[in-house]
Chains A and B, each alone.
Chain A
């Protein structure tokens, strides 16, 4: 089978280049810079724009900013590819509605990646598939998706931490993780991205003394330390 590869330009590196790591709207000049970088990349062979809207600093882009970038990509015949903003609105269909809306407003084919029903979904598979089918059939929008054929997900652990911790970039994250006050807030806000800490298995430890944690659940690693009513472990 032939191997075909096409590259997409992430909105996060565009934002890092033009705006930095800060959680704020891009100015008009910064948006123009991002469009220019995208245009340059597509003229050099990229096929379109990609977003991972659960990941800062790409997640700091609002819908209008993404429409602006997608309009530029559309002008060059590109596509809009999106890991949607799962925490948006009703946390079920609204994240996908944003992707469809970007496709509609920018006049660009929209492709939604890892589109499948979550284990504890707020609605049905028919609701999800119907949303995309209606966008195509009623409006003539070019909407497609991909799904991976297994029931496990995998990503960076930092995705469970709130956007405010990421504001400013890696150095700010490190400072926050070291701060007792920030730790207290994180204990209140960080929740497992799944049913429980028992269903989150950690991996990718570079230090030898942490290799014992490979494949262990967070609950195991923390030794089932349960939070007391004040959020502190017992």
Chain B
């Protein structure tokens, strides 16, 4: 679309956009994610800011549908239901 070296394209966009441009990338290993989420030392976290028109999944849903992470999602939703029922 710009017919540039990727790094030049990034540099030009950063200059045009006051250095604010963000990105989303495929990052985690889905096969082991459940072990981390279910581990007793862990808590569920998020790590994204609601920016742009193509935000990270973190912005639109904290709990994924990944089979390995159903447990904490169920716990959190159960807690929500328990609270709202009171």
The chain A residues found within 8 Å of chain B, CB to CB, are: 1-2, 113-119, 121, 124-125, 129, 132-133, 136, 143-158, 160, 170, 173-174, 177-178, 183, 186-187, 190, 192-195, 197, 199-207, 210-216, 218-223, 225, 227, 231-233
Contacts and interface: CB of A to CB of B under 8 A. Distances in A.
B63 to A, nearest CB: 6
Contacts, number: 243
B28 A150 contact: yes
B20 A206 contact: yes
Residue picked from A149, A158, A207, A233, most chain B C-beta under 10 Å: A149
Given A154-B58, A233-B4, A113 B47 contact: yes
B45 A147 contact: yes
B20 A152 contact: no
B73 to A, nearest CB: 7
Nearest to A227: B5
Contact of B4 (A121, A193, A222): A222
B45 A114 contact: yes
Contact of B23 (A116, A133, A157): A157
A203 B51 contact: yes
A144 B80 contact: no
Bin chain B's interface residue count.
35 or more
B9 A221 contact: yes
A4 to B, nearest CB: 12
B42 A207 contact: no
A69 B79 CA distance: 36
Contacts of B56: 150, 152-154
Given A117-B32, A154-B23, A201-B54, A149 B8 contact: no
